[in-house]
Amino acid sequence: MSSDLSGKWVGIIQGTNFGGVFAEFLEMGDRIVGTVHFNDRTYGATVYGVADANIDSDQIRLVLVPNPANEMLEVGAVTVLAHMVSPAELVGDWRSSIGTAGTISATKMTIEPTEQEQVQMASFKKKGVKGSKRTKVFISYSHQDTDWLNRLRVHLKPLARGDHALDIWDDTQIKPGERWLDEIKRAIQSAKVALLVVSADFLASDFIANNELPPLLEAAKKDGAVIMSLIVSPSRFTSTESLSQFQAVNDPSSPLLTLTKGEQEKILVRVSEEIETVFRKPASSS
């Protein structure tokens, strides 16, 4: 993990909320810890702690959770997606679990860490604490199965809020003008769970077969990513050795399409529960 984020930052948030931001971050082994203060002109000051951080080159993702001191305010978890435009400047977007959103820009203050911070940093590195760079749920699906994706997203929505604040990603989140293939590759590189919406159309997709499945399977083999297959319609899933080696969420002989609405909903609930279980497991340390 890059140490570019370590230090003190000042900046501005705009959007649903508007005001100043002050943040202090510290690299501890492969983790980023810190505190972020928002001073909104209308709603006042709120304080957040860093629950999760992922830095890939100049791309930054932070999940911030409210400090208990905010209990009198209606605040939610905040996800920041930003990039470094220079070693001392970042810009990006933020969104909260209660529906607010906007942009953020910040500049790094040119001061050295205090002696206490340097001691803490050295102590953490000596212990070898490790954190995972894999923080996303990546949904791989055929566009022919968009209706299944939409229903699945409804069941996963609670996991994006509150204490969970999971980053659940599919290609509908790619914004106009972005390089879509680069965005998909970046999301795969951050995937802790790969949720495959399996159908005949899914297995027939050359794009999925050539661009999504190989890096996802490699991530499962070398980096502990979890592959979950949701079987939505009859297909040759059980004959696809690369995928059938992973336990499917539901019985491949009874895909969702063949079930009643109530049975389908129960399986979609099970998907959300299994994803929650994966993210609740403590990260391994060496």
CATH code, domain with 152:
3.40.50.10140
| Residue at 154 is within a domain | yes
| Residue at 276 is within a domain | yes
* Number of structural domains in the chain: 2
Of the three residues 127, 147, 162, the one that is the final residue of a domain is 127
Whether residue 181 is found in the same domain as residue 274: yes
| Residue at 2 is within a domain | no
Strand order in the sheet with 191-198: 167-169, 136-140, 191-198, 226-231
Contact 64, 78 (CB under 8 A): yes
How many beta carbons lie within 10 A of that of residue 110, not counting itself? 8
Whether residue 240 is found in the same domain as residue 163: yes
| Residue at 113 is within a domain | yes
Whether residue 16 is found in the same domain as residue 122: yes
Whether residue 276 is found in the same domain as residue 143: yes
Whether residue 62 is found in the same domain as residue 99: yes
The rounded average pLDDT for each run of 10 residues, N- to C-terminus, in the chain (286 residues) is: 72 83 80 82 75 80 74 68 86 84 85 53 43 74 96 92 76 79 84 94 95 92 90 96 91 96 97 88 46
Q: What is the pLDDT of residue 123?
A: 47
Whether residue 111 is found in the same domain as residue 222: no
| Residue at 54 is within a domain | yes
| Residue at 285 is within a domain | no
As given in the structure block, the two tokens for residue 49 are 């702690």
Q: What is the pLDDT of residue 115?
A: 58
CATH code, domain with 114:
2.40.128.120
Phi-psi region at 271: left, alpha or beta (left = phi > 0; alpha = psi -120 to 50) = alpha
| Residue at 214 is within a domain | yes
Of the three residues 65, 93, 127, the one that is the final residue of a domain is 127
Whether residue 160 is found in the same domain as residue 113: no
Residue 223: which of 159, 136, 140 has the closest Cα? 136
Whether residue 163 is found in the same domain as residue 120: no
Whether residue 76 is found in the same domain as residue 195: no
Rg (CA), the chain: 20
Q: What is the pLDDT of residue 70?
A: 45
Of the three residues 80, 109, 127, the one that is the final residue of a domain is 127
Whether residue 141 is found in the same domain as residue 203: yes
Whether residue 58 is found in the same domain as residue 179: no
Whether residue 107 is found in the same domain as residue 206: no
Q: What is the pLDDT of residue 130?
A: 40
Give the domain range for residue 201: 136-280
The sign of the CA dihedral 178, 182, 188, 189 is negative
